[in-house]
Structure 1
């Protein structure tokens, strides 16, 4: 079914192979899209992959089946897919028995997707919906299938140019987003899963760590896509460990993210130099953080401690000012 709402979007496991790995047993499960299917559907729909939407369609059934397996998706799962494209991964998710909603920014693709489900997996039609919307604009208000407290998972081949904003936006707006398995550009995957002290540890690494734990779980070669991208891809798995949803927790998150942005905005500077105009006097001492350290050495716990100290000291200053005005 198509819901038209807007015209705008531990430990390493075995690497995902770059060629079809579908076995005879897998092939019997259902018909997924191969290269010929993808090109035919695209031609019938008058669709050409565009750089604007970061479109590279998976043409290998073995790859999408393995993504679904690594995501631990099954009949009890409730799944959100972002950027379904022509439906390669969509059909693999439905093949598992899961209920799902796909969010697609490109109107022709969103309109075509139900026809693809009807052709290749008609028995799954009642477990599937597609919303024509920019994923950066979704919320519980306009994505009612995920508005309750029922846990759900994100499984997606994300548009590489907006992968990180999409992930962080969904985690912020949906406290019931419990896990994800996403395919992203390899360099993005490395940054998302990076740990303190590494050269690639930065803003995405720390902000994602606020919500839970991420790890790289496989690489994917270029030849499973049409058109083949100019970069390698990788899978990132994530499990949520933080479920705060009240106003106080949101205030702390915003302050923590503000300090992360400031610290990494001047990466080579010490915390004292990078944050001296950002936090009240005494913040480092209150938090027990050495101000001569650099942002890339701090864990999310330490950034949170800085934020808590900053908020507390700012509140004390405000209270003192109010008291002085009343005196």
Structure 2
């Protein structure tokens, strides 16, 4: 069913680019992956089976799409670059389980798309993508904010961002993005990807991150999920400052507020000079709930 050589080979990629006069667009963060081993390892990391529905974000010229089509039950590929739609439809013509849509994932109604595009929308839904570096975080946050119950999200991103997603408290990579992911998902780095396997080569190396729904329930629930993450972002607003100094930027600096804040920190046994990266997710939830209880959040 597949064409030979496969789309993800360097020779086929160059042939497709030459045939259709394709020039990668910096505005869309386009870098085409040209290593079949890496492409096959991505599919393996996502544990794609014939029972899976897969949404691919940013298929480019279809290198990863082809590998997904061979492994999955059905694939819906969302491509923002309208110039690539006819290319994708032609190179992926041998695969009758692929649908290509000219769609911006940040604007897509994902539950509606799943109902309309998949023959059996009750099957496990997985997202697989080589994400543009400049909008990695908004796409991830959009996926996690949607009401869809993702079976897995397997995405390539800048290695530095991957390290932030999987960071532990007390490390320099640990921050608000780490905690936003941890709230809903277990994250692991499957493997690193060299910049040399892309056309054109980016300036940094990449990594494949696999997100799966949390296996363990949270020790406690926040009073409001959205307010919790706004609060956490405020706590990390100035990384070199203490939690105490950052909190004043969140709740206020008047004497009465500072007195209440000091009391809450003492009750939770949090030193005023502790840095925000020392707190784990449960401690942030506990602190947010305590501040809310006294009217500071």
How many residue pairs match? The answer is 280
Give the Cα separation in 1 of the matches to 2:84 and 2:185: 32
2:161 matches 1:191? no
Q: TM-score with structure 1 length normalisation?
A: 0.77
2:143 matches 1:173? no
Tell me the residue number matched to 2:246.
274
| Higher mean C-alpha displacement, 81-90 vs 141-150 | 141-150
Aligned with 2:282 (options 294, 301, 315): 301
- How is 1:279-294 mapped onto 2 (pairs within 5 angstroms)? 279=251, 281=260, 282-285=263-266, 289-294=270-275
Give the Cα separation in 2 of the matches to 1:275 and 1:45: 54
Summarize the Cα distance change of 1:35–1:252 in structure 2 as closer, same or farther, 3 Å threshold. Answer: same
- Structure 1 gaps of 5+ residues are 1-27, 319-327
Aligned with 2:180 (options 192, 195, 207): 207
Higher relative contact order (CA 8 A, sep 6+): 1
| SS of match in other structure, 1:274 | helix
CA-based RMSD: 2.7
Aligned with 1:131 (options 101, 116, 119): 101
Summarize the Cα distance change of 1:40–1:243 in structure 2 as closer, same or farther, 3 Å threshold. Answer: farther
Contact 2:133–2:158 at 8 Å: present in 1 too? yes
Per the TM alignment, residue 86 of structure 1 is displaced from its structure 2 partner at its CA by 0.4
Contact 2:193–2:205 at 8 Å: present in 1 too? yes
> 1:193-219 deviations in whole A, cap 9, x for unaligned?
111101111222121111111121211
2:89 matches 1:114? yes
2:36 matches 1:66? no
Summarize the Cα distance change of 1:200–1:37 in structure 2 as closer, same or farther, 3 Å threshold. Answer: same
> 1:139-162 deviations in whole A, cap 9, x for unaligned?
336524489675411111111111
Tell me the residue number matched to 2:28.
53
| Higher mean C-alpha displacement, 305-314 vs 61-70 | 305-314
2:231 matches 1:264? no
2:131 matches 1:158? yes
- Structure 2 gaps of 5+ residues are 252-256
